[in-house]
Structure 1
Amino acid sequence: MLLSLALVTAVVAAARGVWSPCGLSMLSSLNPVSERARGHRFGLTAAWYVAGAVAGGAALGGGLALAAFGVGRAGARDSLTWALVLGCAAIAVASDTRMFGRSLPVHPRQVDERWLTTYRRWIYAGGYGVQIGAGFATYIMTAAVYLTAALAVLTGSPAQAFLVAVVFGAVRGLAIVGCAVANTPDRLRSLVARIDGWATPSTWVATAVAAGVAGVAAAQLGGAPAAGVTVAVLAAGVAISRRWADGVVSCPVPAQAGTRATSAAS
């Protein structure tokens, strides 16, 4: 069960990375149009990029596998593991929605675009892929990235933790394959515009997945009622925080105070 949750979260977190400054930069820098202008075939460039992303995911997986080994050796009870899963998922939801006006670190770092004109194709494509696939080397667009790492470690299995990280890296890398259809400037602009239009929905999908993980963890601890209460509390927290952020919620003014204010104004 925990491995399945980790894999689903990894896929969604990786896909959400498409809307990071680095993700959009890759779409605009590594595509059939730009690679043709450099005298390269896009297919081979994409292959180097995906290979690099998988390698980046594997590098991340090495660290997560080591941590998972420690968790496995600790032999924590299932109840403690699921309680930690619930806590991590709730933090992810709160972070992505800025429920308390704060979020987890986003690490605002982009890849160096000078590589495109400085290095050979296999270096810039593969190097970009490694940084993107590692997850934490560039912009972190959703707390689901942190949640993915936490779930991988909490499996207590080095092999499973490594698999989760590699899947994350592969999905991040494969996002560039969508550019294959953009073989003209007009098609490229249209593709980027369509992708940009899905930015907000992608955030809510990542948040929904984190909430779903919290619900499953609550169900493991207290059954369906606990899951329902957990999801309801998270949804209420998100709704209230959004209304406060939008300035919709305000403190009610007592009738007498309102009357005095009106009189003073007149």
Structure 2
Amino acid sequence: MTPATVHPSAIVEEGAVLGGGSYIGPFCHIGPEVVIGQNVTLKSHVVVTGQTEIGDETTVFSFSVLGEIPQDLKFKGEKTKLVIGKRNRIREHVTMNTGTEGGGGVTRVGDDGLFMAGCHVAHDAQVGNRVIVVNSAALAGHCVLEDDVIIGGLSGVHQWVRIGKGAIIGAVTMVTNDVIPYGLVQAPRGKLDGLNLVGLKRRGVARSDITALRAAFQMLAQGEGAFQDRARRLGEETQSDYVREIVDFVLGDSDRSFLTPG
């Protein structure tokens, strides 16, 4: 394995671990507890600090700051982590903070994500695989984003909110409650306006499953009883694994209520 390449102007503190084939560009600063995987590229002027791990083949663009302490007044200097997976693209001016003791201690980002310029991932957030966070969007503390979620530009996700697999959040949207898998949310105060049909079709989901999802959405919107009661009935009736994902999400643990169909 080719050893890491470090630009002469970069500072890599003693104790940091640099994977083979990695490149640390001009004026980067790497802290002593940082672990960088193989073939990672830090373009220039990147700060990586704290107990931070960056997975293989990730590229971090200029002026990003990864692993700084949380923006949380309850944080008292406890040892916490930021763990970033493989093959992520982290664009200019992105910030990702470590966790807090009260939130489990780890902020975690999955694999193959795209974090566009100026977006923020706060303490204790749990971000899945293939997630896209568009320019200047912000994820508050303790958020959970499941796989294949897209967050539109200039949007905000409230603390403790869960966003289910395959959901899409439109631009300039504030999300204050949980979003079901494959949901489509838009409007300044986020409203659940339908399903992410474009995303489902792009992933090659079978027509029968899309039809089942549309029927499930209608039942959640117009069925009798409370939202959770409708979800339980769906679980008893459905044969679709995709609908089952929605049911399990709605009936799972949450610290927020749900965005419900209008």
TM-score (norm 1): 0.22
Question: Which of the two has greater helix per residue?
Answer: 1
Question: Which of the two has greater strand per residue?
Answer: 2
Structure with bigger RCO (C-alpha 8 Å, 6+ apart) = 1
Larger gyration radius, structure 1 or structure 2:
1
